[in-house]
Amino acid sequence: MAAQIDVIIPAVRAAACVGKALYSLSRNSVRPQLVTVVSNELDDDLPTHGLDVRLIRFASEHYPVGDRDVALRRDIGIWLSPCSHVLTFDDDQLAPPNLIEASLAILGRRPYCWGHYRFTDFSRYGLDALLALRPEQGRTREHPANAWHGWMSCYGGLFAAERQLVQAVGGFDLIFCGRHAGEDQNLGRRLAWHLDRSERVFIHEPPFAWHPEQRIPWGTPRYTNLCPCGHRLEVTRRGWVDLLQCRACPYFEVVRGELFGTGVAIPFDLDRITTRISELRGPREQTAPHG
């Protein structure tokens, strides 16, 4: 059976930004089977540009939600995906026309791949003109691309894999929920060790993504389960990691422990969340977004 790929977008930015990412995916030589947007901040009028898009809203009493929770959003999309393969893609990026085609070609040979990034000034180009740029017209993230690097070069904004493999190794470790730093390198190290007993990963180009030089700010959370006025912290332990845990909400801070080992300190459990899924299908705004 041919691989089916679900692009998982853990959206934390405005609908206009996410809409541009969706437009870029709609212009791919091979379209994804599905795009899953995991966000509490977006509405059902999100433009699909002809793609099959699902919008997943979520809540939890167990995991911290509403502050740097991208690792949790990625895991939700992965666990709820109906496709054989997943590709995690950040909402401030744009997909060049061969992103899906190149990803599927690698996944036909290997069970996972880490992609590359080219930085450019989005304000200098119209959207279609930017998507037509050659990779070398952007600033490279890795030196060089298409080479072996240490696992610190892994970046969750462009990662593709067999969905069942990601689930088997525990997905993105939610010890990083609330940090938004390190969850991708952690997964990269675990996958490299699990499959190859290696500390190195291959960073591909293609696939690559266009990444803005200027930071695009996150939106304001519509839902959070965190205390609004400070936390009452006490020492606790998750796995082998010491934490300061709030007694009133799921908030925690890591105090001590190895965060880049071969295990998962806080695994994802689908039973610990509730979700509401909207199927967004059909032609919605087929022209390129402005800006």
CA distance 269 to 238: 14
- Residue 106 clears pLDDT 90, i.e. is over it: yes
**Domain assignment of residue 252, yes or no:** no
**Residue 240 is assigned to a structural domain of this protein:** no
Q: Is residue 291 part of a domain?
A: no
Residue 290 has what pLDDT? 59
Work out the mean pLDDT of the chain and round it to a whole number: 94
Residues spanned by the domain of 210: 5-220+266-280
288: which DSSP letter?
Answer: P
Total number of domains constituting the chain? 1
Q: What is the pLDDT of residues 60-80, one digit of tens each?
A: 999 999 999 999 999 999 999
Residue 146 within any structural domain of the chain? yes
Burial class (CB in 10 A: 0-12, 13-18, 19+), 255: middle
Res 287: pLDDT: 60
User: Is residue 201 predicted with pLDDT exceeding 60?
Assistant: yes
Supply the pTM of this predicted model: 0.95
From residue 105, alpha-carbon distances to 155, 163, 265 in Å are 20, 16, 33
Q: Is residue 233 part of a domain?
A: no
* Domain membership flag for residue 253: no
Confidence of residue 281 (pLDDT cuts 50, 70, 90): confident
CA distance linking residue 186 with residue 263, whole number of Å: 9
9: domain CATH number is: 3.90.550.10
Is 247 domain-assigned? no
- Reported as a single tens digit per residue, the pLDDT across 203-261 is 999 999 999 999 999 989 999 999 998 899 999 998 899 999 999 999 999 999 889 98
> Would residue 74 count as lying in a domain?
yes
| pLDDT value of position 284 | 53
pLDDT at 98 over 80: yes
